[in-house]
Amino acid sequence: MNHKCRTTLNAFTLTDVLMSLFVMAVIISTIFLVLNILYKQLLDYKNINEPVSEFNRLSYLINRDIFDSEKLEKNTGKMFFYFSDKDPVIWETSPTNLYAVREETDIKDTLKIPVRTIKLDTIRNVSEQYVCQRLTFEINLSDNNVTEVKFYKRLYPYQLLSNYDYEH
């Protein structure tokens, strides 16, 4: 009884291993290419939406300051918002007009919006029944495009009379 025991092992051939490595390399490179394209698109999306986000912040902060303030005043290129319950808030433009700065007691906000000028004037409606203060921000949205953004605060009779000089 001469039995030769032959056991065969089922194994991968070198060609099978190389083919599987090639398929994995193609899959990984495709995934990397897709992720790279997505990253570039998200970066472009961020760069497009950053000015919009900054403008929304500017609009929100100014509207809040106007609504809460009792008095607006412009002095030496700065806008002062006076409140009854806290220190004034100061708005100003940077010396290079590349950003706007909002300064509160402990907080200093810098908004990356190119504000050229800040104007404050008083206007009346056609019937001269209502008086408002108009706050205008001149903003450079692009190289040649200047946009005026206007905010209004209604003035009431007691505010108008407090500025009146009775000694005439």
Residue type, 93: T
Q: Whole domain around residue 55: which residue ranges?
A: 28-162
- Kindly report whether the global pTM for this prediction surpasses the value 0.95: no
In the structure encoding, which two tokens stand for residue 102, read together?
């909002």
Tell me, what's the pLDDT at 28?
97
Do the domain assignments include residue 13?
no
Alpha-carbon distances, residue 164 vs 125, 156, 159, 160, 168 (angstroms): 20, 13, 9, 7, 10
In a domain, 150, yes or no: yes
Residue 119 domain flag: yes
Residue 5 resides in a domain: no
Q: How many domains does the chain have?
A: 1
Paired with 71 in beta bridges are: 82
Say if 51 falls within a structural domain. Answer: yes
Q: Cα torsion at 22, 27, 33, 36 (round to 10°)?
A: -130
Backbone angles phi, psi at 30, to 5 degrees: -65, -45
- Residue 19 belongs to some domain of the structure: no
Q: How many residues does the chain have?
A: 168
Which pLDDT score, from 0 to 100, does residue 163 have?
Answer: 58
- Point out the residues of the chain with pLDDT beneath 50: 165-168
Whether 8 is in a domain gets the answer no
Q: In what order do the strands lie in the sheet with 71-75?
A: 71-75, 78-82, 89-93, 100-103, 108-111
Q: Is residue 158 part of a domain?
A: yes
